[in-house]
């Protein structure tokens, strides 16, 4: 079974926060992709740091790992950019770290979605300090930022289709 997981936190108070980017995008692409593709979409009802508990029971074999895509927010990418990667570390992302630990493997695809603010010249301008970073990630998207994320949903849906039909290498060459 093909599995697409959108990371975030459950609950109304987290609904449109930057840390819920994975959940937001999975909701969008689930509506765009044809049901005939036999893809299961999941937004874990656990908090981000416990995502692995929900994913691990659904991924039992190496084949299941190959059919897993995890979508999540990335503060190291500018808002509106995506990066498809495979077999990488968590990069400090606790939700992804939870999945890697629960699966005892990094051998799955992930689609990172940039949430970092940028300067007028396009340089990333991350919040300074742990508290400022946490406030930013758990803060709600501005309306224009949310529109950017929603537009990305169409591109990410195409990337997911490409991954499952033509493979990860083709998707990476087209969308990275």
Which residues participate in catalysis according to the annotation? 19
Residues 6+ apart with CB under 8 A from 69: 2, 3, 4, 5, 108, 109, 110, 111, 160, 163
- SS3 letters for 95-151? HHHHHHHHHCCCCCEEEEEEEECECCCCCECCCCCHHHHHHHHCCECCHHHHHHHHH
Contact (Cβ atoms closer than 8 angstroms) between residue 44 and residue 55: yes
Residues 6+ apart with CB under 8 A from 162: 170, 171, 174, 175
CA distance 24 to 16: 7
Angle between helix 143-166 and helix 21-32 axes, rounded to 10 deg: 60
């Amino acid at each position: 079974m093909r599995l697409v997981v959108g990371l975030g936190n459950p609950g109304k108070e987290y609904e449109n926060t930057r840390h819920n980017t994975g959940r937001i995008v999975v909701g969008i692409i689930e509506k765009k992709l044809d049901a005939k593709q036999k893809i299961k979409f999941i937004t874990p009802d656990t908090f981000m740091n416990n995502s692995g508990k929900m994913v691990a029971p659904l991924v039992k074999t190496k084949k299941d790992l190959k059919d897993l895509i995890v979508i999540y927010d990335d503060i190291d990418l500018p808002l509106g950019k995506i990066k498809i990667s495979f077999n990488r570390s968590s990069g400090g992302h606790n939700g992804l770290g939870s999945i890697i630990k629960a699966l005892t493997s990094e051998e799955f695809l992930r689609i990172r979605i940039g949430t970092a603010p940028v300067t007028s010249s396009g340089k990333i301008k991350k919040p300074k300090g742990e508290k400022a970073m946490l406030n930013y990630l758990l803060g709600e998207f501005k309306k224009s930022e949310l529109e950017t994320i929603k537009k990305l949903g169409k591109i990410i849906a195409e990337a997911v289709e490409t991954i499952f039909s033509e493979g990860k290498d083709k998707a990476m060459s087209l969308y990275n």
